[in-house]
Structure 1
Amino acid sequence: MIDGLVGGRLYGEAQIGTGQNGKRYVTCKVRATTNDGDTIFVNVIAFDDEVQTALLALSDAESVALSGALTPKVWTDKNGLTKPAMDMVAHRVMTAHQERRKGDA
Structure 2
Amino acid sequence: MIDALITGRLHGKPTQKTAKTGKPFATAKLRVPAGDEAAFINVVAFDAKACAGLLALDDGDAVALSGPLTVKAWLGKDGTPKPSIDMVAHALLTAYHVTRKRKAQADAQQAQQRQREPLDAYTERDGLGDW
Q: Report the TM-score, using the length of structure 1 for normalisation.
A: 0.88
Unaligned 5+ residue runs, structure 2? 105-131
Structure 1: distance between partners of 2:77 and 2:102: 45
Counterparts of residues 29-40 of structure 1 (less than 5 Å): 29-34=29-34, 36-40=35-39
Larger Rg, first or second structure (1 or 2) = 2
Are residues 14 and 78 of structure 1, via their aligned partners in 2, closer, same or farther at CA, if it must alter by over 3 Å?
Answer: farther
Q: Does 1:16 align with 2:19?
A: no
Cα RMSD (Å) of the superposition? 1.7
Q: Which structure: greater strand fraction? A: 1
Structure 2: distance between partners of 1:100 and 1:81: 43
The DSSP-based 3-state class of the residue aligned with 2:100 is helix
Q: Does 1:91 align with 2:106?
A: no
The DSSP-based 3-state class of the residue aligned with 1:12 is coil
Q: How many positions carry a matched residue from both structures? A: 104
Report the alpha carbon displacement of residue 76 of structure 1 after superposing the two structures with TM: 5.0
Q: Does 1:68 align with 2:62?
A: no
Report the alpha carbon displacement of residue 77 of structure 1 after superposing the two structures with TM: 5.2
Report the alpha carbon displacement of residue 5 of structure 1 after superposing the two structures with TM: 1.0
Which letter does structure 2 place at the counterpart of 1:73? Answer: K
Report the alpha carbon displacement of residue 18 of structure 1 after superposing the two structures with TM: 0.5
Are residues 16 and 82 of structure 1, via their aligned partners in 2, closer, same or farther at CA, if it must alter by over 3 Å?
Answer: same
Q: Which structure: greater helix fraction? A: 2
Which structure has the higher relative contact order (CA within 8 Å, separation 6+)?
1
Q: Does 1:4 align with 2:4?
A: yes
Are residues 20 and 104 of structure 1, via their aligned partners in 2, closer, same or farther at CA, if it must alter by over 3 Å?
Answer: same
What is residue 52 of structure 1 aligned with on the other side? 51
Q: Report the TM-score, using the length of structure 2 for normalisation.
A: 0.72
